C-alpha cells in the first residue's frame, strides 16, 4: 500500500513538473480550451509564458488546481510584470521533494521585496512566511489566522501542496501578495505595518460577502480579482479555468498600476522608481540581459563601471529624489544616494525617458555618477 502511495505521488510530481516545464520561444495553445468560458484568459497567460505546456496539449480547465501550482502561477504573473525582485532563500519548511519548491521560494522573496519597496523601509514582518504558515494551519484543520503560540517545527508536505486549493485559501494567498498595494496608500511608519496585519489576523474586518466572515476575501475585494458576486463560496475548490481568470485580472491590475504610478504624487513616484530600480538591479545581478535591456540602455550601464569596480544599479533602502523638467515632460531624473566600501558615498542620477518596452512605460537612458 505504501509503495503504491509513493508511486502515485511520483506520478503526480512528474505530471506537475512537465506541465510547468518551459518551452522556450514557442507559442502554443491547448487542445481543450476552444469555446471554454476562460479561453481568453488561458490564452493570454499562455502567450506570456505563465502557463508552459511542456508538451502536454491538455489544459484541463475544469479540473482543480493545487495550492503549490496556484502560488507558482501567482509568482509568474508578478515576474512577468516586474521581473524577479529578489534572490530567493531556501525554506526548510517546504518539503524538499516538492518539484516546484524553488518557484514557491521565489514568490516568498518577491513578496518581501514588494512589501519593503512599497512601505519604503525594510520590514520585520514576513508576508510570504505568514502566507505559508497559514496554509500549514489549514492543513492541520485550524483557521488561517495567527495563533497565540506558533509551532516552530511546522512544514508543508508535498502531498498537501498538491491538494486542491479552496477559494478562501486562494484569497488568503492573494491578500498577502496584494497587501503592499494597500499599505502604500496610508504611507505607514515602521510600527504601523504589524498593526495593519494584526487587524486581519484578529478577524475583525466586516465583509461584503454573505457566506464568509474571512477577512482575506474582503481584504482584496477592491482589486476585483474574484468579481463582484455577494456569495464568495469560500470552501469550493478552484478549477484551472477559474484561477486563470483571477490571474489575468491580477496581471491586468499590476501592469496598469506600474505605468500610472509615475504620473501620481511625488511619494508614489518615489515608490515606483524604487520598484523599477529594484527590478532592474536584480536583472543586472542575476545577469538576465533580456530583462535588463527593457529597463536600462547599454550606454547608461557603462557609468556603473568605476575603474575596476562594478557598482550595483541600486541598493535598497536608499534616499531617492525625483526631479522633472516642465519643458521636457517625457523626461524624469531620479537621484539615488548610495555608499560603497571601496569608493565611499556617491550618488547616481538616472534619466528616465518614455519607452514601451516594459510595463512602467519608461527606460533609463543615461546614468551619471557623482562622488559625495
The pLDDT confidence band at residue 132, using thresholds 50, 70 and 90, is very high
- 3-state secondary structure (DSSP) of residue 346: strand
Which stretches of the chain are assigned E, i.e. beta strand? 305-306, 309-310, 320-324, 331-340, 344-354, 362-371
Cα–Cα distance, 265 to 280 (Å, whole number)? 22
Average the pLDDT over 144-154 and give the result. 76
Phi, psi torsion values for 346, nearest 5 degrees: -155, 170
Instruction: Give the residue with greater pLDDT, 278 vs 57.
Output: 278
> Cβ contacts of residue 90 below 8 Å, gap of 6+?
105
The pLDDT confidence band at residue 22, using thresholds 50, 70 and 90, is very low
Q: What's the pLDDT tens digit per position in 197-220? A: 988 887 766 788 999 988 999 999
Phi, psi torsion values for 211, nearest 5 degrees: -120, 15
User: Buried b / exposed e across 48-75, counting CB within 10 Å, b at 16+?
Assistant: ebbbbbeebeebebeebbbbbbbbbbbb
- 3-state secondary structure (DSSP) of residue 323: strand
DSSP, res 356: S
**Residue-level pLDDT at 370:** 93
The pLDDT confidence band at residue 28, using thresholds 50, 70 and 90, is low
| Domains located in the chain, CATH noted | 2-260 (no CATH), 265-371 (3.10.450)
Q: What's the pLDDT tens digit per position in 330-351? A: 899 999 999 988 889 999 999 9
Cα–Cα distance, 315 to 8 (Å, whole number)? 46
Residue 326 has pLDDT above 80, yes or no: no
Q: Is the pTM of this model over 0.95?
A: no
- Choose among 108, 267, 142, 127: nearest CA to 194: 127
Residue 23 has pLDDT above 60, yes or no: no
Average the pLDDT over 230-251 and give the result. 97
Cβ-count burial of 167 within 10 angstroms (0-12 exposed, 13-18 middle, 19+ buried)?
A: buried
Cα–Cα distance, 219 to 67 (Å, whole number)? 20
**Residue-level pLDDT at 327:** 78
Residue 66: beta bridge partners? 164
Residues 277, 360 contacting (CB under 8 angstroms): no
**Residue-level pLDDT at 25:** 39
Amino acid at each position: 500500500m505504501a509503495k503504491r502511495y509513493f508511486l502515485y505521488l511520483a506520478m503526480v510530481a512528474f505530471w506537475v513538473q512537465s506541465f510547468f516545464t518551459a518551452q522556450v520561444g514557442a507559442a502554443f495553445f491547448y487542445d481543450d480550451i476552444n469555446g471554454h468560458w476562460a479561453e481568453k484568459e488561458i490564452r493570454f497567460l499562455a502567450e506570456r509564458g505563465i502557463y508552459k505546456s511542456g508538451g502536454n496539449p491538455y489544459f484541463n480547465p475544469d479540473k482543480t488546481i493545487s495550492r503549490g501550482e496556484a502560488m507558482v502561477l501567482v509568482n509568474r504573473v508578478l515576474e512577468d510584470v516586474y521581473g524577479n525582485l529578489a534572490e530567493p532563500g531556501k525554506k526548510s519548511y517546504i518539503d524538499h521533494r516538492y518539484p516546484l519548491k524553488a518557484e514557491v521560494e521565489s514568490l516568498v522573496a518577491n513578496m518581501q521585496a514588494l512589501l519593503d519597496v512599497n512601505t519604503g523601509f525594510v520590514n520585520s514582518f514576513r508576508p510570504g512566511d505568514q502566507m505559508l504558515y497559514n496554509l500549514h494551519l489549514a492543513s492541520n484543520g485550524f483557521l488561517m489566522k495567527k495563533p497565540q503560540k506558533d509551532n516552530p517545527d511546522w512544514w508543508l508536505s508535498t502531498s498537501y501542496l498538491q491538494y486542491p486549493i479552496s477559494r478562501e485559501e486562494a484569497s488568503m494567498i492573494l491578500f498577502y501578495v496584494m497587501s503592499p498595494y494597500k499599505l502604500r496608500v496610508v504611507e505607514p511608519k515602521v510600527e504601523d505595518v504589524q498593526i495593519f496585519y494584526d487587524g486581519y489576523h484578529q478577524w475583525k474586518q466586516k465583509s461584503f460577502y454573505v457566506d464568509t466572515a474571512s477577512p482575506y476575501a474582503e481584504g482584496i475585494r477592491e482589486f476585483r480579482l474574484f468579481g463582484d458576486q455577494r456569495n464568495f463560496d469560500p470552501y469550493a475548490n478552484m478549477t484551472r479555468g477559474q484561477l486563470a481568470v483571477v490571474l489575468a485580472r491580477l496581471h491586468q491590475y499590476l501592469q496598469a498600476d506600474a505605468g500610472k504610478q509615475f504620473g501620481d504624487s511625488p511619494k508614489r513616484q518615489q515608490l515606483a522608481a524604487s520598484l523599477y530600480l529594484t527590478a532592474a538591479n536584480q536583472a543586472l545581478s542575476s545577469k538576465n540581459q533580456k530583462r535588463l535591456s527593457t529597463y536600462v540602455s547599454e550606454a547608461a550601464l557603462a557609468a556603473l563601471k568605476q575603474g575596476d569596480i562594478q557598482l550595483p544599479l541600486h541598493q535598497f533602502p536608499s534616499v531617492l529624489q525625483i526631479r522633472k523638467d516642465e519643458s521636457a515632460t517625457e523626461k524624469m531624473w531620479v537621484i539615488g544616494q548610495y555608499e560603497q566600501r571601496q569608493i565611499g558615498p556617491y550618488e547616481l542620477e538616472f534619466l528616465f525617458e518614455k519607452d514601451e518596452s516594459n510595463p512602467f512605460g519608461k527606460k533609463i537612458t543615461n546614468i551619471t555618477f557623482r562622488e559625495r
